[in-house]
Structures are given as C-alpha cells and as structure tokens.
Amino acid sequence: MTKKEPRLSGVKEIARRANVSIGTVDRVIHNRYGVSPKTRDKINVIIRELDYEPNLLARRLASRVIRIATLIPLVSDETSFWEAPLLGIGQAESEIKQYNVVIDKYFFDQNDKDSFVKQSQKILRKKPDGILMVPDFIQEAVKFTDKCKHLNIPYVFMDSDIPDQPSLSYIGPNLYSSGYLAGNLVSYVTREKDAVLILNISKDIEKQNHILRKEEGFRGYFKDRGSKKRIEKIDIKRVDPKSIEKEIAAVLTKHKDIKLLFVTNSRVSVVASCLKRLDKKLILIGYDFIRENIESLKAGDIDFLICQKPGEQAYKGVMTLYKFLVQKSEIEQVLFMPIDIITKENYQFYRN
Amino acid sequence: MTKKEPRLSGVKEIARRANVSIGTVDRVIHNRYGVSPKTRDKINVIIRELDYEPNLLARRLASRVIRIATLIPLVSDETSFWEAPLLGIGQAESEIKQYNVVIDKYFFDQNDKDSFVKQSQKILRKKPDGILMVPDFIQEAVKFTDKCKHLNIPYVFMDSDIPDQPSLSYIGPNLYSSGYLAGNLVSYVTREKDAVLILNISKDIEKQNHILRKEEGFRGYFKDRGSKKRIEKIDIKRVDPKSIEKEIAAVLTKHKDIKLLFVTNSRVSVVASCLKRLDKKLILIGYDFIRENIESLKAGDIDFLICQKPGEQAYKGVMTLYKFLVQKSEIEQVLFMPIDIITKENYQFYRN
DNA sequence: CTGAAAGCGCTTACAG
DNA sequence: CTGAAAGCGCTTACAG
C-alpha cells in the first residue's frame, strides 16, 4: 500500500527542466498564443525528450466540460430502427459523463426536411465541441456542416455518408457489400434454376440510397459470377399491409419458380406476415435487428436477417468524437460496420 | 469559457453537512474501520440524500495503481487462435493505463499442466487486484482460485467456464449453441437426403470439452427436429496433414452421399487443403477467424466459419475486472459472446 | 475514532 | 510574454 511515487515526466518536470512555470508549459502543449518562439522551442524539445504523454485523468478533472451534440432521426411508428442508435448514444453517455462530458441529443423527422434544418440551427447556437449526425438530407447537411467547418466544430457522419463533405469520420454500413452478402447466401440456399424476388418497400424508393445500393450489391453478386439466375423485382410504394400483400400475391402467381424473397430494408416482417396469410413457405431474407423482425425470425417466418449493429454505430460515433476532443488522437476516416448474419439460432446472443 | 462551478454533492459537501472532515467521509464511503457507528450512520444518510456518486476521475487520479493479471495460453504453432485474445488484452491495457491501471500478462502451455501451476503461483506472489484466466486445467484452476478467494482477489474466467467454482464472471462462447447454429446452416445448404460428416481433429478429443459440446449441439439440432439426416463422424487423433487426408479419403470413398463437412475446431483449413488435393468440392463449415482459415475462405475452399470474437472476449474480461475494481458496479455473471457467421463476402468487415 | 494537510497532474483565471 | 496561486474531487499518510 505504498503511496504512488510522483511522475517524473509531467508538466512539472518539463517546467523544471525548461526553467519556466507550468503555466507556460501548458500554453505550449495546447498551442496557445503568448509564448516566445524561443521558450516554445525549448519546451517542445523537452517534451519530445521525455516522450511526454498527458495524463488524461488529470486533464479531464481540471478542465471545463466537453459538449457533444447528436442529431439523429426520431423513433417513428414506421420503424423502430432508431431505437438502437439512441440506446448506443445513451451507453456512450453513461460511460463518459464521469469524464466531464455532456451529450445533448437532438432529433429530426425523416419525412420533414425543415425539422432537420431547425434542429441543426439549434445545435449551432449552442456551439458544442463536436457533433454526431445522420445526414439524411444531403443539401441541408452540407450547409450545416459548412457552418461547422467555419466554427471549427468537428463532426462525424453516421449511417449514411456524404463523401464530398470531408468529415472527421464516417461510421456506418457498407450497403453494397451487405447486398452482395445477401446474394452470397442466396447462392447457398437456392438452386441455380430457382428464381428470386427483390422487394423494395418504401414511399419514395428513388430517394432511398440505402435501398438502391443494397439492390445493386445483390445483383452485383450474380453478375460477377456470370450467373443466369432469374431475378424478379417489385417496387412497392403503397406501404400498408394490404397493398403489399396484393402486390406480392400477384408476382408469386405469375412466377411460380420464385423460391426466395429478398427485402431490402427492415420491412421484412410485414412480408413475413403476407407470406403466412398467402400460405406460401418461401425463404425470406431481410434487414435489421428490430423487435418485429426478431419475432418473425423466432417464429420461423424469416430465415436470415442481415444486421449492422446500429447501436454500436452510434456508440462509436460518440466515442470517436470524445477521443478526438480529449486525446487529439488519430481517427479512422471511414469505419465500416461488420455485416452480421442472424438466424433463429444465434439471435439470442446478438448485441445490436 | 466559464470556469466549472464546484460540485455541490462531493465529499466536501457531505463533510460540511455532517460536520466532519472529508477524511471521515472517505472512510465511510470505503467501509473502512475506525468510524463510530453514529457518525457512520449520519454520513450514510447524507450520502443517500445527495445521491452521491463518486467522481471516478478524481478517485483514480488520487489513489494507488490497480494491478490486473491475465493468464492465457501461449500462442503455439498448433494454432494462432490465442493471438486475438492477447491483442484484446493489449487494447484494454492501452485504454485503461491512463486510469492508473497496470496489466501483467502471464502465459501457460496448453500441453503442460505444470506451466499453468507455475504461472498461477507467480501471480499469487504478486497479489494483483484482479485476475483474468483461461481455466483449461480444471483441477489446477480450482486450487488456484480457492487461494484467490482466500486472498480476496476477484477472478474472471474466459473461453471456458468452471460453473462449480463461483467467479466474478464468465465470458466466453456458448459451445452447444454454436454447434446448434452449424446444424441450422446445414439444414439450409443441404437437402435432407444428403449426408454430412463431423470431423473432430485433436490429439486427445476426450479431454476437449469444446469439441464435445459443439458436436452435441450440432447433433441436437437434427434430433430436436426429428430429422433423419445421416450424420457420419470421424475422430482424427493423428493430426499431421497426411494422416488427416488419409482418413478423410477413406470416409468419402465409403460414403458417397456426404455433401458437407463440419470441422469442430479451427483445424478446418487443413481439411480444406485435403479436399483440394482429393479434388472434392464439398461444402465446408468450421470454426475460428484465424489467418489460415481466412485464406481458405477467400480462396473459396471454406464456406462458413463460425466465430466468437476471442479478442473481444479478452478485452471484455479485462474491462469487467476494471469496472468491478473501480466502480464496484454490478457484473453480469455469465456473458456469452455472439455467434458470428463469416463467409467470403463479409470477413473483410469482421472485427475479431 | 477523527481531523488537517499534502498530493495526484493537470487547467484556469489573474496579475504583472 | 510569463509566473504564482488556486482549484478539480478525490485518497493517503500522519498526528493526536
């Protein structure tokens, strides 16, 4: 139970060696104004000599609070998808609030551009130290982040990227690859002569980059292999269960050789119900670890879910900002999430 | 840039309200001897009133170092499996060393009981604050942990459990379920009439709980469904490639209807090579995200790998101890890792 | 059984 | 441009 011996490579030691006060050392460490080039150089040399690494514990204890803002979609009744990211943010929050970090959460409506703009303005007024956001509305997000750049506020994109707008980091799925993986699964669970059906279900599919990229990836898999597998597709824009069922019934009646359905988003549990009512037992692959889908998976009505840990995405987004703000450490510019395959027999162990 | 306002629910405030010194408050918080029941009670009431939560930053900064010891198998030439856990420990280390935590790493030889005993004695002499271990040798591990209990040193098991020996936590795979999941996959990628072959490859299979439990799970899947699928099995105890190849060749010649091979451990890449030399294209399922296996996966010689993030297992093991020692927080007694399915099309995104 | 002081390694005003 | 002091919220000896 000996007392810790004092550290001999801290600011004190640097100050002693440089014959200055620790205040001056602090100024150099943080690149603040008001140090003569001469003493600055002298101190920097010593810092390198000692291989100085700041004690983050002491740093966080002594310094002012760090504020991180998050801007993500509201949990809607259309989908509970955004529950997990919110939980992920909460987890990050509870881990780092002890380190003198505060997280302010903002939400926008995915069907309402203006809500995105309004919330982003609110955030800017608060001048946070960093921002995590889902840039669903590209033009508006570009305007927003332009202002961030101007104010020197770092920002991280999650779930979808704007490659042209340089961010601290993008954390999210690789959509093409996840569609490609679906193709891979299909090649295992169907015969070459079996046809498959792609289902895009959304009010405006054209604007849903997610859906388009996944379909591309899926088709890419078969194209790359010169496969002649027949791929049917329907775009369903009226998203009430009845309309969906009608459209599915029509296609299946027309194409009897369809053995597998691939739903390009989280709406797969609705399709599962349709198939049940139509009394068709086909293989069903879809996306996302959300409650409704898990229920269908358990019941055996969905065969495979492809998931990309949205909770962890958000958690990592916050942590990335924290690490950058506190440690000024290097940040991976793009972080693709793993592409997980979930079945009835491993969902119990999955952590979203 | 305002200065932080002082916290009004810290030890100081408690001391002020209780009319004692902060030293006494500290004694109560840590349940140390030497406080009269009266003042203890008084202080405890105030602690509850204020809903006091210690500032861990300050706590770690002021207090002595925490020492965690880890005891895991050496990376051997038999398998590179233990590389990942070692990396996981390193990652945890680099994250928490700033919090005044030191990790001492010890290793034993999986083929040498004595090395386990020797290392465990070394650890005990150092009296660490917590221990993470892989209890491969059950009797020896029980003895070791008995002493830990006596010395009041918490320990966490990883990779394999000793349910009868109460530990702070067990973090590892659910072996039965992972075999079960393999059965699930098989049901999708073969027809009912196709036969499958289980391959247990190890010098002494009887002692390898891992292998036995996975086989059980695999068979369980078919039993639970009343399936009549034919399941052949070979135990291969001579583990050089030549012997392995000979045994496989023999079985495949005898049973022409075998369409899929299930290897119950990380030796699956060796089997992949054998099949290649025998010029047999069968579906191959095995375990573990190790270099050799990934190569075979990429080449298309392995179809599915089942993985359980051994690196994260070790990372979480260390972090569990850290959280317990610093925050005295509640610990999950059993933490099963997710069971991941890896194919040629998603391994690039996997984080082991 | 209790208190007063020093210290952990930083940052933050303030003074000059 | 620089220094000296106070403080962040705890823990650790030491003294009585």
DSSP A273-314: HHHHHHT---EEEEE---HHHHHHHHTTS--EEEE--HHHHH
| Strand D nucleotides in reach of protein CB atoms, 7 A cut-off | 1-5, 7-14
User: Tell me, what's the pLDDT at A324?
Assistant: 92
Mean pLDDT across B156-175: 94
Q: Are the beta carbons of B255 and B223 closer than 8 angstroms? A: no
The pLDDT tens digits of the residues spanning A200-225 come to 999 888 888 899 999 999 999 999 99
Give yes or no for CB of B62 within 7 Å of strand D: yes
Residue range B275-304: mean pLDDT, rounded: 96
Question: Chain B closest CA to A215's CA: distance in Å?
Answer: 15
Q: What confidence score (pLDDT) does residue B161 get? A: 92
Question: What is the rounded average pLDDT of the residues B62-76?
Answer: 93
Torsion angles phi and psi, residue B170, rounded to 5: -120, 130
As a rounded value in angstroms, the CA-to-C1' distance for B5 and D4 is 22
Phi/psi for B313 (5° steps) reads -55, -50
Q: Which residue of B has its CA nearest to A59?
A: B57
Query: Is A280 an interface residue toward B (CB < 8 Å)?
Result: no
HEC string for chain B: CCCCCCCCCCHHHHHHHHCCCHHHHHHHHCCCCCCCHHHHHHHHHHHHHHCCCCCHHHHHHHCCCEEEEEEEECCCCCCCCCHHHHHHHHHHHHHHHHHCEEEEEEEECCCCHHHHHHHHHHHHHHCCCEEEECCCCHHHHHHHHHHHHHHCCCEEEECCCCCCCCCCEEEECCHHHHHHHHHHHHHHHCCCCCEEEEEEECCCHHHCHHHHHHHHHHHHHHHHCCCCCCEEEEEECCCCHHHHHHHHHHHHHHCCCEEEEEECCCCHHHHHHHHHHHCCCCEEEEECCCHHHHHHHHCCCCCEEEECCHHHHHHHHHHHHHHHHHHCCCCCCEEECCCEEECCCCHHHCCC
User: Quick check: B244 pLDDT over 90?
Assistant: yes
Residue B337 near chain A (CB below 8 Å)? yes
Residue B75: exposure state from Cβ atoms within 10 A (0-12, 13-18, ≥19): middle
The pLDDT value recorded for residue B2 is 44
Determine the distance between B331 (CA) and D10 (C1') in angstroms: 24
C-alpha dihedral over B146, B148, B154, B160, to 10 degrees?
A: -50
> For residue B256, what are its two tokens?
């022409």
Average pLDDT over residues B230-247: 94
DSSP state of A75: P
Task: Compute the mean pLDDT over every residue in chain B, rounded to the nearest whole number.
Answer: 93
Residue A5 has pLDDT above 70, yes or no: no
* Sign, Cα dihedral of B346, B348, B349, B352: positive
Please, what is the average pLDDT of chain A?
93
Say if residue B341's pLDDT is above 70: yes
Q: Which of B4, B61, B184 sits opposite A65 (nearest CB)?
A: B4
Each residue of A130-140: pLDDT tens digit?
999 999 999 99
A68 touches A93 (CB < 8 A): no
- DSSP summary character for residue A227: -
User: Model confidence over A250-288: pLDDT tens digits?
Assistant: 999 999 999 999 999 999 999 999 999 999 999 999 999
Measured between CB atoms, does B36 come within 8 Å of chain A?
no
Q: What does the alpha-carbon distance between residue A222 and residue A208 come to, in Å, rounded to a whole number?
A: 23
Provide the total of helices (H) and of strands (E) in chain A, helices listed first.
13, 12
Q: Could you tell me which chain B residue has the CA closest to the CA of A187?
A: B189
Instruction: Give the list of residues 6+ apart from residue A225 with CB closer than 8 angstroms, or none.
Output: A187
Task: Specify the pTM.
Answer: 0.92
CA distance, residue A158 to nearest chain B CA (Å) = 16
Instruction: Yes or no: say if B304 and B341 are a contact pair by the CB < 8 Å rule.
Output: yes
pLDDT at residue A4 tops 60:
no
pLDDT at B17 over 50: yes
CB-nearest partner of A57 from B98, B181, B184? B98
3-state helix, strand, coil in chain A (%, to 5): 50, 20, 35
- Is nucleic acid strand C under 7 Å from A22's C-beta? yes
Helix (H) or strand (E) holding A344: none
User: Nucleotides of chain C within 7 Å of a protein C-beta?
Assistant: 1-5, 7-14
Q: What is the pLDDT of residues B78-100, one digit of tens each?
A: 778 999 999 999 999 998 888 89
How much of chain A, in percent, has pLDDT values that exceed 90? 81
Mean pLDDT across the stretch A162-172?
A: 94
**Average pLDDT, stretch A36-62?**
91
The mean-pLDDT minimum among A296-310, B70-84, B156-170 falls in B70-84
Distance CA A285, CA A244 (A): 16
Q: Which residues of A touch B345 (CB under 8 A)?
A: 177, 180-181, 183-184, 221, 339
Quick one: which of A61, A187, A284 has its CA closest to B300? Answer: A187
CA of A193 and C1' of D3: distance in angstroms?
Answer: 83
Find the mean pLDDT for residues A72-101. Answer: 90
Mutate to test the interface with A, among B53, B284, B345 (most CBs of A within 10 A): B345
Q: CA B103 – C1' C4 distance (Å)?
A: 35
For the CA of B270 and the C1' of D14, the distance in angstroms is: 66
Q: pLDDT tens digit string along B97-131? A: 888 999 999 999 988 999 999 999 999 999 999 99
- Stretch among A262-271, B6-15, B224-233 having the lowest mean pLDDT: B6-15
How would residue B146 be classed by pLDDT, with cut points 50, 70 and 90? very high
Query: Chain A residue closest to B182 (CA)?
Result: A345
Token pair recorded at residue A242? 């009845």
Question: Chain A closest CA to B314's CA: distance in Å?
Answer: 17
Instruction: Give the Cα separation of B221 and B218 in Å (integer).
Output: 6
Q: Which residue has the higher pLDDT, A274 or A77?
A: A274
Within an 8 Å CB–CB cutoff, is residue A191 touching chain B?
no
Could you give the C-alpha distances from B18 to B15, B27, B291, in angstroms and in order? 5, 13, 61
Identify the pLDDT of residue B5. 63
Contacts 24+ apart (CB under 8 A), A162-168: A162/A135, A162/A138, A165/A135, A165/A141, A167/A333, A168/A130, A168/A320, A168/A321, A168/A324, A168/A331
Inspect the interface and report whether the beta carbons of B345 and A184 lie closer than 8 Å. yes
Residue A32 burial by Cβ neighbours in a 10 Å radius (0-12, 13-18, 19+): exposed
Higher pLDDT, A56 or A299: A299
pLDDT in tens, B31-65: 888 888 889 999 999 999 999 989 988 999 998 89
Band (B6; pLDDT cuts 50, 70, 90): low
